[in-house]
Amino acid sequence: MNPNFIRSNSKVIAVDFDGTIVTHRYPEIGKPVPGALAIIMALQRKGHRLILWTYREGRYLEEAVAYCRTHGIEFYAVNENYPGEAQQGNYSRKLNADIFIDDRNAGGLMGWKEIWQWLHPEEDRSYATHQKASVLSVLKRLLFPTRKK
C-alpha cells in the first residue's frame, strides 16, 4: 500500500513509537508490543495515513524508522504533518491528526486489538488473521526483496 494514498473515509493517525509500537527501552529499541506491527500494517492496507509521532530525534529516530521499515511499515510522515513540512518561526510540533495512538493517552494504551475493533467495527477479520498477514508480508519481503533500479 502506498503510504501517500488516502481514501475519503480514512483517517490521519499519529502513532507513538516507544511504549506503543515497541516496549520502553529508550534509547534502545524494545521488543514489539503484541499486535502493534500487524494492526499498523492492516490500518495502512485500509488506506489510513499514518504518521510516526515520537520523542526520538537524530540517530535514535533513524533507528526507529529503520526498525519499522524492516517490519513492513512505511509511514506517510515522521514527526511532521506531511513529508517535507517547512519548519518556520515559532514551530510547533503539534500534529493535525484525527487520532493519536500513544501509551501516554489518558487511560493508557487500550491494546492493538481493541484499537482495530474501535476503528473498524465493520471488519469481520479476526485479530489472528491480521497477525498472520503481517508475518507473511514480512517473510515475503525478506525472501523476495525488490530491487531498486
Residue 60 located in a structural domain: yes
27, part of any domain: yes
In a domain, 45, yes or no: yes
CATH of the domain at 62: 3.40.50.1000
Parent domain of 125: 12-83+95-143
How far is it, in rounded angstroms, from Cα 42 to Cα 46?
6
32 CB contacts (<8 Å, ≥6 apart)?
Answer: 21, 22, 23, 71
pLDDT reported for residue 3: 46
Domain assignment of residue 55, yes or no:
yes
1 within domain boundaries: no
Q: How distant, in Å, are the alpha carbons of 73, 75, 110, 135 from that of 82?
A: 16, 10, 27, 28
**3-class secondary structure, 6:** coil
Query: How many domains does the chain fold into?
Result: 1
Q: Is residue 46 part of a domain?
A: yes
Largest distance between two CA atoms of the chain: 47
| Whole-number pLDDT of residue 140 | 63
pLDDT at 4: 46
Residue 90: inside a domain:
no
Per the confidence metrics, is the pTM higher than 0.95? no
Per-residue pLDDT of the chain (149 residues; tens, 9 = 90+): 444 444 557 899 999 999 999 999 999 999 999 999 999 999 998 899 999 999 999 999 999 999 999 999 999 999 988 888 877 666 666 788 899 999 988 888 888 888 888 888 877 555 556 555 655 665 565 666 665 55
